[in-house]
Amino acid sequence: MIFVFPGQGSQKIGMGKDIYDNFSSAKDVFHEVDEAISFNLSKLIFEGTEDELKKTENTQPALMTVSMAFVEVMRKEFGIDLSEKAKYFAGHSLGEYTALCTAEALSLRDTARILRTRGKAMAEACPTGGAMAAILGLDINQVEEITKEASSDAAKVQVANDNSVGQIVVSGHAEAVKKAAEIAQSRGAKRAVILPVSGPFHSELMQPAVKVLEEVLSDVEFKSPAKPIIANVTAQAETENFRELLLKQITSRVRWVESIRYAESQGVSKCIEVGAGRVLTGLVKRISPNMQLINVNSLESLDLVRDL
């Protein structure tokens, strides 16, 4: 089986509160993250506003914290060690850090600290503005061709997320993204929607964030993961070189379709999404219709994992 961890877009106020209230192991995760980043993130997650939570510097550590709280509850309260059960771990963008933390390649404190800095750096990387758009109903080859047509020397757009069959996100300079969306609609896309995001994530415009992240990662210790991580940038099982892979990830596409197909090609038939929402299992259902799907995102859902 593969355990997957969500990225931005899955967050909501109150996520994880039910397990926080019921398990000391979950509470410990929230409090350790608060301490690591010197900020009461728990209070923001449970009582804050949607606008505050969706700020990238808050969203990234918040989603990781909720996922890791479920991981710890499964381990300590249910006796389920994900590293024993998994063949692979994977995460969507920031979720890759959660995967590394679950596989014990990164400590919880380091993961929280990195994501807080990563989120801030990504939000500040493109002050002149950029954009992202979701293109629905076209295949990856069509969208790649469209991004080439829409790009110029002055304004560029590229594929940011190959999320699922017929759902591809592009990112770059605002005018190039807008042009790509218009071309996509003229080529028969079901929809081409400009997304409400704070920056052109997973594009070359994120290069300033790479420099910031490089400094943060330089003094972080990476250990060998308990099980391989299917990395966003390679869509292959990786056991080393995570510092380099995470730096590349900032400006590269999230190859989610290829990642899930790789897992399936290696005999994986069950996908468990751990953390807020159910975005990734929704994508996996379209990529690999025969994959068995489980969401661990609430107190009640923990009953589903007793027999893993």
One domain, residues 190 and 165: yes
Q: Which of 58, 71, 59, 77 is nearest to 29 (CA)?
A: 71
One domain, residues 79 and 160: no
Mean pLDDT in the chain?
96
One domain, residues 62 and 102: yes
One domain, residues 139 and 111: no
Is 92 a catalytic site residue?
no
Catalytic residue among 67, 202, 203, 252: 202
Catalytic residue among 42, 93, 203, 252: 93
Single pTM value for the model: 0.96
Within 10 angstroms of residue 17's Cβ, the number of other Cβ atoms is 18
223-249: pLDDT as tens digits: 999 999 999 999 999 999 999 999 999
One domain, residues 138 and 254: no
Integer Cα distance of 162 and 140 in angstroms: 7
Q: Contact 69/16 with Cβ under 8 angstroms?
A: yes
Q: Is the pLDDT of residue 89 over 80?
A: yes
Domain boundaries, position 147: 131-198
**Predicted local distance difference test score (pLDDT) of residue 172:** 97
**Predicted local distance difference test score (pLDDT) of residue 30:** 98
Q: What is the mean pLDDT of residues 136-160?
A: 97
Integer Cα distance of 82 and 79 in angstroms: 9
Is 93 a catalytic site residue?
yes
39-58: pLDDT as tens digits: 999 999 999 999 999 999 99
Q: Label residue 197 by pLDDT band (50, 70, 90).
A: confident
CA distances in angstroms from 39 to 33, 43, 44, 57, 129, listed in the order given: 8, 9, 9, 11, 28
Q: Which of 290, 275, 299, 281 is nearest to 102 (CA)?
A: 275
| CA R_g for the chain | 18
Residue after which a domain boundary falls, among 162, 180, 198 = 198
CATH number at residue 194: 3.30.70.250
Q: Is the pLDDT of residue 127 over 90?
A: no
Using CA of residue 172, residue 175, residue 178, residue 180, what is the dihedral sign?
A: negative
